[in-house]
Amino acid sequence: MTSPIEPLTQRLLPWLAPALAQFDEARGRRQLGHAWLLSGAEELGKINLALVLGHRLLGVEKEPAPLDADTVLAALPQRHKPSDRHPDLHWLYPEEDKDTISVEQVRAVIEAFALTAHRGVAKVVVIEPAEALTVAAANALLKTLEEPTPDTYLLLVSHRPGRLPATIRSRCQHLHLDLPSPAALAGWLQVAPSAVAAAGDVVGPAPLTIARAIRADDYNIFKELHDNLTRLSEDRVDPLAVAQSWAKERTDVALAWLARRLHAELRLRLGGVSTEVTVPGATTLHNAWEGVPTRTLFDQHAKAEQLRNLLGSGLNVELALQALLNGFLVSRGRS
């Protein structure tokens, strides 16, 4: 039976080809370090690159075929499920119901690195995401980075490399991955550029998020949510009407989308990088929130996440949504 992650190890998203070429060039010059930091936006496909690089290091030299949208969207949700994979490929990620990678997980890999490779070539560990390492786990990993055993390699996948300790980052070779252009993404998805633009306006620029939205036709839902919230924030619609609409169906989708937009706005205000508001047409909500205090946005984000976790508990969802949405108006001087 074919492993569900096999496509992620043998095929490559087209916009990742330059990073693979950079890695191969370093390898050809015999300048291949023991640790590589793969950084870039979420939903960019970094884990695909990590698995292709890992198999290269393990002696699988086959040139990867292009990875299409339907295949990658089917494979990614399966990647952490038990399956057959290369015995010398180790994979660290937060265990179920946890947000961090523990020191015990790192120590288990360190012990495995002390053993002979099963197939006699190399040993590789993929860490996803690297910023999920606890302080103790990062310290344990640091010793391996400082004193690597022969033919062992670490591939650190990171959405936010700035959260990694400087001591970790400084010991890694860095591959920063850029977003594909809208035209390239449209060609990959085999859709009109206008479809990519419409999806990007409401779900942000990440290629796999756009692909998922287009395949599920979700971007029309997100566009409606975006329009609802913009009109609400500009005092052009009553919160009760929006709450009733959001409570009818897919409330979890609406709350997840709201939390993501609030998170993006907070990152922008606090000096981080938020590419979402640079997408043409996506600045309307950003502008509508100009008069909303940052503290209120933090509170709204926490309330959205809390309400999302309480769905299905018997809570009156419509009333809870109205209370949440009222927060955007109270912050603008209305009661």
Question: Domain extents for the chain?
Answer: 6-176, 221-330
What separation, in Å, do the N-terminal and C-terminal C-alpha atoms of the chain show? 61
**Domain 221-330, CATH 3.90.1010 — does that match?**
no
Given this model, what pLDDT does residue 49 score?
97
Given this model, what pLDDT does residue 137 score?
96
* Tokens coding 19: 């990073």
Given this model, what pLDDT does residue 281 score?
42
pLDDT by 10s per residue, the chain, length 335: 467 789 999 999 999 999 999 999 998 898 888 999 999 999 999 999 999 999 999 988 788 999 999 999 999 998 988 777 888 999 999 988 888 999 999 999 999 888 888 887 899 999 999 999 999 999 999 988 988 888 899 999 999 999 999 999 999 999 999 999 999 999 999 999 988 887 886 677 899 989 998 888 776 787 788 888 888 888 899 999 999 999 987 788 889 889 888 988 898 888 754 444 443 344 778 888 888 899 999 999 999 999 988 988 888 999 999 999 998 886 554 44
Q: Is the dihedral of CA 257, 258, 259, 262 positive or negative?
A: positive
Residues 6+ apart with CB under 8 A from 295: none
Q: Same fold for the domain at 6-176 and the one at 221-330?
A: no
Given this model, what pLDDT does residue 279 score?
39
Roughly what angle, to the nearest 10 degrees, separates helices 317-330 and 219-233? 50
Q: Are strands 35-39 and 65-66 parallel, antiparallel or unpaired?
A: unpaired
Given this model, what pLDDT does residue 39 score?
97
pTM: 0.73
Q: What is the DSSP letter of 87?
A: T
Given this model, what pLDDT does residue 81 score?
84
Q: What does the alpha-carbon distance between residue 54 and residue 124 come to, in Å, rounded to a whole number?
A: 6
Given this model, what pLDDT does residue 274 score?
47
In angstroms and rounded to an integer, the radius of gyration of the C-alpha atoms of the chain is 22
Given this model, what pLDDT does residue 70 score?
94
User: Given 3.30.70.270, 3.40.50.300, 3.40.50.970, 3.40.50.720, which CATH number is that of 6-176?
Assistant: 3.40.50.300
